[in-house]
């Protein structure tokens, strides 16, 4: 079969798909020798030189290689023209504001720009403009330091274009980041050339999402074309789609500035999970942020996704100027291999000063991956626990007393061994304060009570020993101790609740050798009937009736099986009220066994009238039934069985 070489290249290439033998080889040669038609709607047919565009001093931009993102394999588009992208630069100083460019010296000289001050660029992301979070960031920076702030507005080049699907709009915006990065770099060169004084100006770029990738290209451009290096780049959740697996020439990486710090907040969706800086911070693990809903399939799914992504900007702004009413606001982060290690507090030492996420990250310039937790709302940073204030309020509400809060926050920070060592100094300081108060007010040591939580308990103990050495014996120390985080802080909750009207005189304890004995009601007698009260009233032994209910279940199996761990939920209904449903301790029951459980009760139930029992099974084959229920409670006489009480 003979085919004319005068066929249009596109037709020749299409024929090549259906021609066999030497004809296929001939048509393939036609396509390779005429590469001007190199693409069809179904994709690239042959290897060829990439397309390129040239925009004056900003240089030539070649097509990027294909990049995979999820199921998509695409390349960001070539940058649009400078007139289409429409980038503008808005300069702000403490002395005023002005729109500048990289050509008009006269205009720049009429501004308050001073190159001896640090110059900070702020670059927004996809489908944004400058009049967003960037304005609040600019205001915070100017309030904190005397600097030049330049807002980079490339909203026309970053927008979701009408009549074009979202993916194509994003790919075009992603392609435009290179042009905007080159424009930022050329403006920096222009600013340097505008001042003949010999000094080393400091330029710092903060970029969010696509703006972070823009900052990276600006740094790369300056390094390659001007042989200069930016002092710092902060990437706020750098964009992930079609950048994560891209070559370093097209995305943010540590070579783009002397120091690159990155804050990851949505790295499972919009932000990259790749460590792209000298220091990478992962607040709350870098994925889901507190205060942002985790339901990603609901009606507000896009809003929820954006919340995690946008948190990076909020965190950074919050780090610039700590709130005056939160002096102990901490953004310290810790070097962990993964977030689960941080949650278990396995990596709370830094071998030196721990880095601070955000504005002050460059004070330590620690390298590596660091984790921290934040709160769900502004000011977001971790602050000292509020339990101290709750105890104070409870004491002042119920008693006429003086309350002194001991704040040793700075000394309590990791490393733990140093914090533990500091407890002796703090204990000695409290002892000296007590001695001073006794001397100045002519009071007695018997009027002092020290309450400590965790390491604070050891501080209280050291304080007591210090005073004892001088003949002063504290009448009481309350140490609040418990393992691990939730369990740890529950101890403070119990002490606070002991001060409340609802729980007052209802937190009695019993002299049991272990919890197993208590669970089976084997030790519910106190000497002379005086059971101690946990919490604030522990020093007062009361002869009041302890409010608890002892329930014995006699069981039988409906099937001849062995042990089964039963789940029983019980509700008591009395003449004066009813209890909540209480899940009894999970326990293995044997066929025909009698098992006794202790259920916390209320003193106002009155005479028992009904018991509601809910039984849960792991399998229908393991069903069992109650033969008899016996209830014993101080103030109740006789027994109650399933024949005279309702079960449900």
pLDDT in tens, 138-195: 999 999 999 999 999 999 999 887 777 888 899 999 999 999 999 999 999 999 998 8
Amino acid 517: pLDDT: 59
Residue-range domain boundaries for the chain? 65-291+301-308, 386-503, 547-647
Under DSSP, is residue 6 helix (H, G, I), strand (E, B) or coil? coil
Let me know if 38 is a catalytic residue: no
Q: How many CB atoms lie within 10 A of CB 182?
A: 25
Tell me 49's DSSP state.
P
Candidates 182, 169, 176, 139; CA nearest to 154 is 176
Instruction: Compute φ and ψ for 102, nearest 5 degrees.
Output: -100, 25
d(CA 269, CA 285): 14
Q: What are phi and psi of 96, to 5 degrees?
A: 150, -170
pLDDT surpassing 50 at residue 435: yes
Could you identify the residue written with the tokens 């660091």? 370
Is residue 194 annotated as a catalytic residue, yes or no?
no
Active-site residue, selected from the candidate residues 155, 169, 209, 412? 209
Confidence of residue 458 (pLDDT cuts 50, 70, 90): very high
- What is the model's pLDDT at position 54? 94
* pLDDT level of residue 17 (50, 70, 90 thresholds): very low
C-alpha 192/C-alpha 362 separation (Å) is 23
Q: What is the pLDDT of residues 104-123, one digit of tens each?
A: 999 998 899 999 999 999 99
Residue 45 has pLDDT above 70, yes or no: no
Torsion of CA 459, 460, 465, 467, to 10 degrees: 110
Q: Which pLDDT belongs to residue 41?
A: 36
Q: At what angle do helices 210-221 and 166-193 cross, to 10 degrees?
A: 40
Output the pLDDT for position 40: 36
Helix (H, G, I), strand (E, B) or coil at 519: helix
505 carries an active-site annotation? no
Residue 21: pLDDT band by 50, 70, 90 thresholds? very low
> In 429-523, at which residue ranges do the beta strands (DSSP E only) sit?
449-453, 476-480
Outline where DSSP puts E strands in 113-164.
119-123, 148-153
Distance CA 525, CA 550 (A): 13
Of the candidates 588, 591, 586, 587, the one whose C-alpha atom is nearest the C-alpha of residue 559 is 591
What is the structure's pLDDT at 528?
Answer: 58
Closest CA to 46 of 72, 27, 73: 27
Q: Answer yes or no: are the C-beta atoms of 401 and 451 closer than 8 Å.
A: no
More confident residue, 628 or 187: 187
Pairing verdict, β 449-453 and 476-480: parallel
Give the global pTM: 0.59
| E strand or H helix at 108 | helix 105-109
Place of tokens 């020439």: 249
Does this chain's domain 65-291+301-308 share its CATH topology with 386-503?
yes
Query: Which residue, among 222, 216, 154, has the nearest Cα to 188 in the 3D structure?
Result: 222
The mean predicted confidence, pLDDT, of the chain is: 76
Per-residue pLDDT at 194: 87
Higher pLDDT, 123 or 548: 123
Residue in this structure with the two tokens 């009448």, named with its chain if needed: 475
Q: How far is CA 640 from CA 82, 570, 585, 646, in A?
A: 87, 14, 21, 10
Candidate list 124, 153, 220, 237, residue with the active-site label: 237
Return d(Cα 343, Cα 348) in angstroms, integer.
Answer: 10
CA 217 to chain centroid = 28
Read off the pLDDT of each residue in 566-586 and give the average, rounded to a whole number: 70
For the structural domain made of 547-647, what CATH number should be given?
Answer: 2.60.60.20
**Does the pLDDT of residue 80 top 50, yes or no?**
yes
Residue 123, strand partner residues: 152, 207
Which 8-state DSSP code applies to residue 555? E
CA-wise closest residue to 257 among 279, 272, 237: 279
Contact 610, 646 (CB under 8 A): yes
1: which residues sit within 8 A by CB, 6+ positions away? 19, 23
CA angle 369/370/373 to nearest 5° reads 145
- CA pair distance 413, 347, nearest whole angstrom: 13
Which of these, 443, 498, 434, lies nearest to 466 by C-alpha position? 434
| Predicted pLDDT at 118 | 96
pLDDT number for residue 394:
75
Q: List phi, psi (to 5°) of 497.
A: -65, -30
479-489 pLDDT, tens per residue? 876 544 455 45
Binning pLDDT at 50, 70 and 90, where does residue 22 land? very low
In CATH, what number does 65-291+301-308 get? Answer: 3.40.50.1820
Q: Report whether 312 contacts 346 (CB < 8 A).
A: no
Rounded to whole angstroms, the Cα distance separating 456 from 182 reads 55
Residue 550 in this model has a pLDDT that exceeds 70: no
Tell me the CB-side half-sphere exposure of residue 497, using CA atoms within 13 A: 13
Tokens for 80? 């649009």
Other beta carbons within 10 angstroms of residue 109's beta carbon come to 10
How far apart are the C-alpha atoms of 95 and 79, rounded to whole Å?
35
Which is catalytic among the residues 309, 330, 412, 457? Answer: 309
Q: Which CATH superfamily is domain 386-503 in?
A: Alpha/Beta hydrolase fold, catalytic domain (3.40.50.1820)
Mean local confidence (pLDDT), 316-328: 73
């Amino acid at each position: 079969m003979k085919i004319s070489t005068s066929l249009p290249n596109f037709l020749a290439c299409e024929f090549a798909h259906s021609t066999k033998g030497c004809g296929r080889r001939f048509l393939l040669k036609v396509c390779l020798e005429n590469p001007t038609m190199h693409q069809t709607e179904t994709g690239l047919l042959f290897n060829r030189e990439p397309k390129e565009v040239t925009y004056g001093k900003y240089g030539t931009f070649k097509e990027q290689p294909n990049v995979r993102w999820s199921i998509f394999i695409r390349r960001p588009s070539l940058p649009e023209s400078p007139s289409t992208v429409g980038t503008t630069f808005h300069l702000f100083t403490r002395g005023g504001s002005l729109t500048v460019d990289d050509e008009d010296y006269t205009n720049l000289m009429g501004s308050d720009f001073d190159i001896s001050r640090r110059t900070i660029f702020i670059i927004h992301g996809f489908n944004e403009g400058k009049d967003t979070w960037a304005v609040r960031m600019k205001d915070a920076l100017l309030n904190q330091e005397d600097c030049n702030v330049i807002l980079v507005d490339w909203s026309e080049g970053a927008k979701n274009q009408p009549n074009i699907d979202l993916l194509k709009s994003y790919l075009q915006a992603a392609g435009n980041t290179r042009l905007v990065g080159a424009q930022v770099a050329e403006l920096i060169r222009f600013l340097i050339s505008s001042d003949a004084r010999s000094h080393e100006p400091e330029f710092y770029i903060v970029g969010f999402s696509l703006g972070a990738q823009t900052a990276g290209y600006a740094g790369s451009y300056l390094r390659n074309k001007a042989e200069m290096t930016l002092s710092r780049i902060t990437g706020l959740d750098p964009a992930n789609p079609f950048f994560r697996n891209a070559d370093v020439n097209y995305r943010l990486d540590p070579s783009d500035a002397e120091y690159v710090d990155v804050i990851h907040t949505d790295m499972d969706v919009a932000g990259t999970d790749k460590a792209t800086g000298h220091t990478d911070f992962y607040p709350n693990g870098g994925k889901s942020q507190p205060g942002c809903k985790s339901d990603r399939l609901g009606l507000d799914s896009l809003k929820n996704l954006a919340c995690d992504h946008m948190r990076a900007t909020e965190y950074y702004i919050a780090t610039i100027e700590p709130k005056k009413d939160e002096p102990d606001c901490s953004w310290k982060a810790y070097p962990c291999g993964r977030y689960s290690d941080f949650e278990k507090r396995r990596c709370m030492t830094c071998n030196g000063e721990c880095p601070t996420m955000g504005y002050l990250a460059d004070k330590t310039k620690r390298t590596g991956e660091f984790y921290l937790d934040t709160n769900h709302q502004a000011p977001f940073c971790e602050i000292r626990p509020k339990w101290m204030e709750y105890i104070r309020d409870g004491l002042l509400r119920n008693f006429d007393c003086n309350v002194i809060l001991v704040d040793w926050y700075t000394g309590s920070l990791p490393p733990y061994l140093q914090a533990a060592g500091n407890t002796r100094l703090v204990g000695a300081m409290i002892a000296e304060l007590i001695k001073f108060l006794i001397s100045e007010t002519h009071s007695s040591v018997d009027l002092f009570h020290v309450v400590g939580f965790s390491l604070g308990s050891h501080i209280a103990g050291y304080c007591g020993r210090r005073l004892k050495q001088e003949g002063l014996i504290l009448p009481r120390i309350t140490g609040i101790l418990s393992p691990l985080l939730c369990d740890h802080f529950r101890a403070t909750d119990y002490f606070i609740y002991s001060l409340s009207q609802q729980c007052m005189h209802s937190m009695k304890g019993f002299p049991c050798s272990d919890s197993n004995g208590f669970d089976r009601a084997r030790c519910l007698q106190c000497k002379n009937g005086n059971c101690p009260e946990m919490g604030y009233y522990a020093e007062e032994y009361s002869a009041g009736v302890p409010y608890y209910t002892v329930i014995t279940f006699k069981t039988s199996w409906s099937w001849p099986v062995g042990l089964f761990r039963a789940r029983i939920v019980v509700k008591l209904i009395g003449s004066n009220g009813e209890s909540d449903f209480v899940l009894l301790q999970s326990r293995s029951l044997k066929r025909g066994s009698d098992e006794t459980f202790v259920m916390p009760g209320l003193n106002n139930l009155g005479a028992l009238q009904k018991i509601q029992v809910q039984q849960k099974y792991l399998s229908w084959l393991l069903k069992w039934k109650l033969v008899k229920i016996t209830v014993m409670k101080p103030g109740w006489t006789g027994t109650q069985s399933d024949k005279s009480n309702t079960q449900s």
